[in-house]
A and B are shown apart, each in its own frame.
Chain A
Amino acid sequence: MPTTPAPAKDRSAVRTLLRLWPYVRPVRVRLFTAAAIAVIASCTGLVIPLVLKWMVDGPVADRDSAGVWLGALSLLLLGAAEAILFGLRRWLVARPLSHVEAEMRADLYRHLQRLPVAFHDRWASGQLLSRGTTDLMLLRMFLAFPLTFLLVNSVTILVGVTIMLLQDWTLGLVVLGPAIPVMVTCVIFENRYARVARRAQDQVGDLTTVVEESVLGIRIIKGFGRHRSQARAFRDLSFGLRGTELHKARLLATIWAVIVTLPELAIGAALVLGTVRVADGELSAGTLVAFLSTALALRWPVDSIGFLLAMSQEAATATERYFEVMDAEPESATDTGTGTGTGTGTGTQERAAAPGGDGLRFHGVTFRYPDADPGSPPVLDRVDLHIRPGESMALVGATGSGKTTLTALVPRLHEVTSGWITLDGEDITAMPREELRARVAVAFEEPTLFSASVGENVLMGAGGDADDGDLERALAVAQAEFVHALPQGTGTQVGEQGLSLSGGQRQRLALARAVVGRPRFLVLDDPLSALDVHTEAAVEAALRRVLADTTALIVAHRPSTVLLADRVALLSGGRVTAVGTHHELLNTNAEYAHLMSGDQEADRR
């Protein structure tokens, strides 16, 4: 189930991670302060062995009780300082880092809401969700630990090595020996790990997609008793993920083994050499103790580099995945759309606003999905259609003829490939999307209700000034008075987290939502398909009054819906092939007659 478009460019981990800077910038002061504090705290830890050395070579050897007390007291102070500094570091970054994560998630959400519908068609929502959750958590952890500690540990190692070299440079060099092989291993490992980490994260996204689909499609799975095959698909994917995770573990285990063994060997060598030199009297016992204790204190900083790099690598992958979405071009408030008006060669004068109301016009509108093969036949091919002001036009065509696509072009859910659409003579690409969508109200065939109250769901179709009167009027038009019988009336929560309503009930609410704002332009996609005959008749009667002074485009499958409209346009082969009244077309157009009656004879007539 390959649901992720191929990753764009191959960037180095560091360059990828640098893209996080805009989000980190606002908290940089705290973050840097915290890092500085961590460095100080770590170095405090390194001073402790020096105090020990002083105690062993000085007061202990001299049996100076006061000196011992002094030493222990300084140890206590240093220890307290270290504890408080480490705590301070965490306290400084706790809120800011949660904030960075939240900001990035909010940005992702904002961006997703503004990405073209075509983008959402392409991307599985599980992949988007895993970017908004797991990936961002990884990034927060990266900022909290690896980022700080790669710096802190480097400084600690540097200071520790300096201390060791100052105490005894031969022993120091011995301990430094493994540095280069360890670094080489890290580099090789980093590259391999990056690839595997990316695969694991993508597999998590695919797994999320399967989970989501299996929940959303539960009725079909149950209806056909297919939970076994669904479970098998899930198992295959999770087995794949397990394999990748084990691969990751092998890489990680190798690096750990190298990082743990080599420095330990060097310390062993230093111990032997140091013992010889203490025996020869070239080195004090205190120095050896301090030296080894410093070397051991450096063990964690060195050991941890392996997993810090691994976490950084995963963070880089997460960043890459995050920005794959963020880099996608959103629709802007106003723009000329993608490829609008090109290719038709028509003059711009024609597009100038016509005087007064001109209704809704399609001018040579051609549409092909952005990801479709450019050579494939377009879904809509030079559609010309004029819906006069106040007129309602039914759009009829065979299943899959592009009716829904045509309606999606009006509120600019998709952008026309060429040609243009005007509202009252004004090119829709010339007005802000916000305004366009305020002027055009839509009811989709699949009525979506949001997690909000019934009232809110309906009123979201109107501007902010709509009141209860408007709500009641809209509910009356859509024959949706059933809401008053709900537990909390119009305040009842519906949608994903609320009460379940039947298809017909949802469709009526969606219709109420479309008409509540008394829009000048109305686009209805088969708005009555789930209604029973009585309700349909009642809705139609009410809708006729609304449609009297509204310019409307209504997708219709049935004669009853068609009769709502003044005229009918027949969409066939991507073009409007006939326009006229229902009765005209019924008598003159065989295809139309077939669509309306289903009789094969009508076809041949």
Chain B
Amino acid sequence: MTAPTTASPTAGDDEDLTAAKEHADAFDQDVLPTPPGATGTLLRSLLAPMKARVALTTFLLLLQQAAVQAGPLLVAYAIDRAVPAFREDDLGPLIAVGVGYLGCALAGGGLQYAFLIASARVNQDVLLDLRGRIFRHAQALSLDFHERYTSGRLISRSTTDVESLRELLSEGLQELVTVVLSFLYISAMLLWLDLGLGAVAVASFGPLYLLVRIYQRRAGRVFRTRSTAIASVIVKFVETVNGIRPVRAFRREAVNEADFRVLNQRHERTNGDALLEMARYVVGSRLVANTAVALIVLWGAQRVADGSLALGVLAAAVLYLRRLYDPIDRLGMFLNSYQSAAASLEKIAGLLAQEPSVPEPTAPQELPARRPGMPGREVVFDGVAFGYRTGGEVLPRFDLTLPAGQTVAVVGSTGAGKSTLAKLLARFYDPTAGRVLLDGVDLRDLTTAELRRGVVMVTQEAFLFSGTVAENIAIGRPDASREDIERAAKALGAHEFISTLPDGYDTDVRRRGGRISAGQRQLVAFARALLADPAVLILDEATSSLDVPGERAVQAAMATVLKGRTAVVIAHRLSTVEIADRVLVMEHGGIVEDGTPAELVAGTGRFADLHRAWRDSLA
């Protein structure tokens, strides 16, 4: 039962308050700045790798339209030529009509099939690419982004927003190309059949274009609001489902329902608005089309009547006209999915435009080989300062050296900057000044893979992924064998509870570990860290839910399995501090005491106070 709040922020301490103000508006209203033209660039970059296939698909459609649009021409030919020829016992033209129609029908069907398959391939590959990009980018973005963007919105980006692009690609684009092609074909045919009639038909495109533009502008607005509306529905939905226990216990059902109703109705309204815009467009465009048909028939019929036009030509022209305007509804549907997809793409582009504030190095360096018998590494904070971009320094400039193999406990009250120190060391954030060095190498010069071989951080929220217990432990080292996994679990005393699970290590933890207690989850999280075998281990409140024996087991494991590693332990329990070689006491972002536990206890400083209070609590 991971709480929704763990989804977002948690993290740190009071210092996050300042950070939250930054960009708060853009984040609150779900309107991240999208650089101008980013949407188009995104769409182009998605389609660029499949230029050849897009061309092939278009070509197939070109042929298919040629086959389909030949019909009325054959009708005109049949009426004007085959009928008189047949009367003179010339079967040639009739056979030509028959064979031509047969050929067109078969070719039309076959090409349709080929086109649908080809376009589905292109569409699915584009979607695959886009889904992957969003996912990878979201994963690459640093924690400070995740702490503000909320999981619901990210989910909305990669589900409903991608879905609207899917609709555009699978139905819309095909519609558009079909519409454009048949417009071109039919206009050409009409002009060829009769210049005058064709000209009237082409003239009707003017008002149609105007209608399209108006629709595009109005619907665009509506769709953008709708995309935001559905995202907030999703956020509420996810929050409720993930926090179902407290929802129940505090009888939030009615209040939630009322809140949800408001959000849901906002979505309903914008949804209705979108459908109404479409209705307006349909009426307008149909009116234009039908008026044009009536005009052309009027003029054409007059000319047939006075003999300046063949009957067959008028028949063909009328048949073509019906087809010419047939796709205008479909053009509407295309615009519909285009507008909706454009709104979604804009949001996706905004997400993709976010730069990770903790970027990968351009010229990566490698860590020096570990010294034999010394698995730990030296950590140096060299003139490090940290503050959020809005200002407000959280950690004033400081220097700190942690020799390889030292276990350092960091204590201090909430908001003293302990977590920030840990996050700088884990490179969840980069310092605003100075460098953090691991065996002399700046963390910023290490690739993620190299960094994580060096530094691993275990936090108090022990999130379990769906999958088995073994898979969850193996996150620490994906290539670990079952023996490795069990050894890690045994070292922590986690083996016992895992063996009592229905399928042992292969038990599915289901929905984020609803059945595995908080303490057990922390043990699994520890097993991960043990398996990862890092040079530097950071524990941020990682034992808060363990009972005393559990905590002892972890300490024993640290003393044996992790012996010689550099460890930074942030703990409220001073029992953890007992195993430390060195204690740092932090206050207001600074280190106010530094020494061995014995020295500090014997002294008169804050740690001595804390220690006395803790002793008393054990009484």
Q: Are A460 and B17 also in contact (CB < 8 A) when A400-B497, A496-B151, A533-B613 are?
A: no
Q: How distant is the Cα of A129 from the Cα of B315 in the complex, in angstroms?
A: 54
Q: How far is the CB of A135 from chain B (nearest CB, A)?
A: 11
Query: Given known contacts A76-B294, A598-B551, is B8 in contact with A482 (CB within 8 Å)?
Result: no
Alpha-carbon separation in the docked complex, A238 to B408 (Å)? 44
Closest to B278 in A: A90
Of B132-140, B187-195, B341-349, B399-407, the one with at least 4 CB within 8 A of chain A: B132-140
Interface size class of B (residues with CB under 8 A): 35 or more
Residue of A nearest to B28 (CB): A497
Q: Mark B526-565, 1 if CB is under 8 A from A, else 0.
A: 0010001000000001001111111110000000000000
User: Does B48 sit within 8 A of A, measured CB to CB?
Assistant: no
Question: Shortest distance in angstroms between B190's beta carbon and chain A's nearest beta carbon?
Answer: 16
- CB contacts (< 8 Å) of A399 on chain B: these are 497, 517, 519-520, 523, 546-547, 549-550
Q: Across the interface, do A219 and B461 meet the contact criterion of CB distance under 8 Å?
A: yes
Cross-interface CB contact of B283 among A69, A84, A215, cutoff 8 Å = A84
Interface residues of B in 133-166 (CB under 8 A from A): 135-136, 138-140, 143, 146-147, 150-152, 154-155, 158-160, 163
Question: With A79-B290, A450-B243 in contact, do A500 and B301 touch (Cβ < 8 Å)?
Answer: no
Chain A contacts with B in 220-261, Cβ cutoff 8 A: 220-231, 234-235, 238-239, 242, 245-246, 249-250, 252-254, 256-258, 260-261
Q: Are A536 and B456 in contact (CB under 8 A)?
A: no
8 A-B pairs closest in CB distance: A500-B9, A79-B290, A225-B452, A261-B109, A268-B101, A249-B120, A87-B283, A83-B286
Complex CA distance for A513 and B21, rounded to whole angstroms: 26
Q: Does B311 contact A (CB under 8 A)?
A: yes
Once A216-B512, A235-B132 are accepted as A-B contacts, the answer to whether A537 and B617 lie under 8 Å apart by CB is yes
Choose from B9, B413, B544 the contact partner of A499 (Cβ within 8 Å).
Answer: B9
> Are B75 and A292 neighbours in the complex by a CB distance under 8 Å?
yes
A159 located at the interface, meaning its Cβ lies under 8 Å from any Cβ of chain B in the complex: no
B213 at the interface (CB under 8 A from A): no
Contacting pair B234 A112 (CB below 8 A): no
Alpha-carbon separation in the docked complex, A595 to B147 (Å): 37
CB of A123 within 8 Å of the partner chain: yes
Chain A residue contacts of B269, Cβ below 8 A: 98
Q: B108, A264: Cβ atoms under 8 Å?
A: yes
B287 lies within 8 A of A80 (CB) = yes
A530 to B6, CA, bound (A): 14
Q: In the complex, which residues of chain A have a beta carbon less than 8 angstroms from the beta carbon of B44?
A: none
Residues on A with beta carbons closer than 8 Å to the beta carbon of B5: 447-449, 494-496, 501, 506
Name 9 A/B residue pairs within 8 A (Cβ), A-sorted: A3-B466, A223-B456, A226-B478, A229-B478, A238-B127, A256-B113, A267-B105, A271-B75, A534-B610
Contacts of A65 in B (CB 8 A): 302, 305
Q: Which of A162-170, A275-283, A345-353, A421-429 contacts B (4 or more CB under 8 A)?
A: A275-283
Count of inter-chain pairs, beta carbons less than 8 A: 582
Do the beta carbons of A129 and B419 come within 8 Å of each other? no
| B233/A446 in contact, CB under 8 A | no
Say if the beta carbon of B253 comes within 8 Å of chain A: yes
A120-162 near B? 1/0 per residue, CB < 8 Å: 1111111011101110010010001000000000000000000
Binary flags per residue of A264-305, CB closer than 8 Å to B gives 1, else 0: 110111011011101100000100110011001100100000
Give B503-537 as 1s and 0s: 1 = Cβ < 8 Å from A's Cβ atoms. Answer: 00000001110111111100101001000100000
Which residue of B2, B86, B301, B452 has the most chain A CB atoms within 10 A of its CB atom?
Answer: B301
A411-426 CB contact bits vs B (8 Å, 1 = yes)? 1010000000000000
Contact check, A223 vs B131: say whether CB atoms are below 8 A apart.
Answer: no
Q: Are B116 and A249 in contact (CB under 8 A)?
A: yes
B247: A residues at CB distance < 8 A: 113
B45 to chain A, nearest CB (A): 18
The CA of A114 and the CA of B252, in the complex, are separated in Å by 11
Contact A253 to B102, CB < 8 A, known contacts A86-B283, A246-B124: no
Within 8 Å of chain B (Cβ to Cβ): is A478?
Answer: no
Q: Check: B268 CB closer than 8 A to any chain A CB.
A: yes
Residues 229-257 of chain B, each 1 if its beta carbon lies under 8 Å from chain A, else 0:
01001111111111111111111110111
Residues of A within 8 A of B419 (CB): 502
Give the Cβ gap from A19 to chain B, nearest Cβ, in Å. Answer: 21
- In the bound complex, residues from chain B placing their C-beta under 8 Å from that of A445 are 518, 545
- What 1/0 mask marks residues of chain B from 61 to 85 whose CB sits below 8 Å from any chain A CB? 0000000000110110011001110
CB distance from B19 to the nearest CB of A (A): 8
From A246, A264, A450, B121 is in contact (CB under 8 Å) with: A246
Residues on A with beta carbons closer than 8 Å to the beta carbon of B287: 79-80, 83-84
A127 to chain B minimum Cβ distance, whole angstroms, is: 10
Is A444's beta carbon under 8 Å from chain B? yes
With beta carbons under 8 angstroms apart, the residue of B239, B315, B475 that contacts A495 is: B239
The answer to whether B304 and A60 touch across the interface, beta carbons within 8 angstroms, is yes
**How far apart are B184's CB and chain A's nearest CB, in angstroms?**
19
Q: Does B475 contact A113, Cβ atoms closer than 8 Å?
A: no
Question: A129 vs B163: C-alpha distance in the bound complex, in angstroms?
Answer: 14
Closest beta carbon of chain A to B517's beta carbon, Å: 5
Mask of B424-439 contacts with A, CB within 8 angstroms, 1/0: 0010100000000000
Contact B465–A268 (Cβ < 8 Å)? no
Q: Chain A residue with minimal CB distance to B93?
A: A275
Q: Establish whether residues B459 and A253, one from each chain, have CB atoms under 8 Å apart when the complex forms.
A: no
Across the interface, B150 reaches (CB within 8 A) one of A99, A220, A265, A496, namely A496
Q: Is A597 an interface residue (CB 8 A)?
A: yes
The CA-CA distance from A501 to B252 in the complex, in Å, is: 21
Q: What is the minimal beta-carbon distance from B98 to any residue of chain A, in angstroms?
A: 4
Q: Does B367 interact with chain A (Cβ within 8 Å)? A: no
Residues of chain A from 529 to 551 with CB closer than 8 A to chain B in the complex: 529-537, 540
Given contacts A90-B279, A434-B251, A506-B5, contact A408 B75 (CB under 8 A): no
Q: Would you call B396 an interface residue if the criterion is a C-beta within 8 Å of the partner chain's C-beta atoms?
A: no
A117 touches B414 (CB 8 A): no
Q: Mark A76-110, 1 if CB is under 8 A from B, else 0.
A: 10111011101100110111011101100110011
Q: Is A31 interfacial (CB 8 A cutoff)?
A: no
Q: Does B370 contact A (CB under 8 A)?
A: no
B163-A225 in contact (CB<8A): no
Of A9-17, A179-187, A206-214, A381-389, the one contacting chain B is A206-214
Contact of A444 among B158, B246, B544, B574 (CB under 8 A): B246
Please name all residues of chain A whose beta carbon is closer than 8 Å to the beta carbon of B293 when the two chains form the complex.
48, 75, 79
Complex interface: chain A residues within 8 A of B597 (CB): none
Rounded to whole angstroms, the CA-CA distance of A28 and B614 in the bound complex is 70
Could you say which residues of chain B place their CB within 8 Å of the CB of A216?
2, 6-7, 151, 242, 463, 512
Determine whether the beta carbon of B515 is less than 8 Å from that of A121.
yes
Say yes or no: B544 contacts A80, CB within 8 Å.
no
Is A223's CB under 8 angstroms from B139's CB?
no
**Bound complex: CA A526 to CA B135 (Å):** 36
Q: Does B326 contact A (CB under 8 A)?
A: yes
Which of A112, A125, A133 is close to B230, meaning CB atoms less than 8 Å apart?
Answer: A133
Chain A 25-69 interface mask (CB, 8 Å, partner B; 1/0): 000000000000000000000001000100110011001110011
Among B108, B253, B311, B415, point to the contact of A261 (Cβ < 8 A): B108
- Expressed in whole angstroms, the Cα–Cα distance for A435 and B544 within the complex equals 33
Specify which chain B residues have a CB less than 8 angstroms from the CB of A221 in the assembled complex: 139, 475
Known: A133-B234, A496-B151, A534-B613. A82 touches B286 (CB 8 A): yes
Q: Chain B residues near A59 (CB, 8 Å)?
A: 301, 305
Pair A595/B548 contact, Cβ less than 8 Å: yes
Contact of B448 among A121, A227, A558 (CB under 8 A): A227
A500 and B136 in contact, given A106-B261, A223-B457, A594-B549 (Cβ under 8 angstroms): no
Given A80-B290, A261-B106, A532-B413, check contact A279 B83 (CB 8 Å). yes
B23 at interface, CB cutoff 8 A: no
Q: Does A72 contact B (CB under 8 A)?
A: yes
B382 within 8 A of A: no
| In the complex with contacts A87-B280, A101-B268, A117-B248 CB distance below 8 A | yes
A213–B7 CA distance with the chains assembled, in angstroms: 9
A460 to B256, CA, bound (A): 11
The reply on A334 being an interface residue by CB < 8 A is no
